Amino acid sequence: MISIDVMTKAIAGLVIVGQALLVLYVVGLPWRKTALKGVYSFAAEYALPGALLALFGAIFGSLYFSEIAKFPPCELCWYQRIVMYPQVVLVGLAMMKKNRDVRMQLLVLSGIGFIISLYQTYLQYGGSALVPCSTTGFAISCAQKNFLEFGYITIPVMALTGFAMIFVAGLLTKNSNDATSEQE
């Protein structure tokens, strides 16, 4: 069996790949309609499969850390799961063309999750609680770090990256009414 340390490093490595893709997306924004038009078209075409891959990674990671590594999830972790898990169904239905108008749902859910994970990251790096993170009924505080990989990656940083990737996929995804308005 693979050790928890090796698995944590592997998942953190995938997070770095996701962060690099996010940086490339942001850096390329000024050229998205000119020099990088083909790259952004390709990214838009594969935004939903990319979002599904990020979602599966996030769900696998959260379940791995809580069920196999035995890191108990805090209250904020549960809130992040609440907005992360349903997005698999939304993206899956969109990919099966049952609901192509998934853009707003992805943006709202991943935006909420992004804010929650950003707040938890702030707490873990020494920020004072703006809202009390009650540990009543939870085994750990929301500010506790279960591990620190590559000097900055914690579980909330992983979630933050996943939510950011899904948000960008939502930005790249066109609703079916967007496609029809472009053809007119």
Are the C-beta atoms of residues 110 and 163 closer than 8 Å to each other? yes
d(CA 69, CA 113): 23
Question: pLDDT digits over 106-157, tens only?
Answer: 999 999 999 999 999 999 998 888 776 665 555 678 888 989 999 999 999 9
pLDDT of residue 85: 96
H-helix or E-strand containing 94?
helix 86-95
Query: Residue 36: helix, strand or coil by DSSP?
Result: coil
Which of 64-73, 99-108, 110-119 is predicted least confidently?
99-108
pTM of the model: 0.89
Q: Set out the domains of the chain in order of their start, with CATH numbers.
A: 4-175 (1.20.1550)
- Residue 178: which H helix or E strand, with range? helix 176-183
Q: Is 29 exposed, middle or buried (0-12, 13-18, 19+ CB in 10 A)?
A: exposed
Residue 180: its pLDDT value, please?
Answer: 40
The amino acid present at 159, given as its one-letter code, is A
User: How does the average pLDDT of the chain come out, rounded?
Assistant: 87
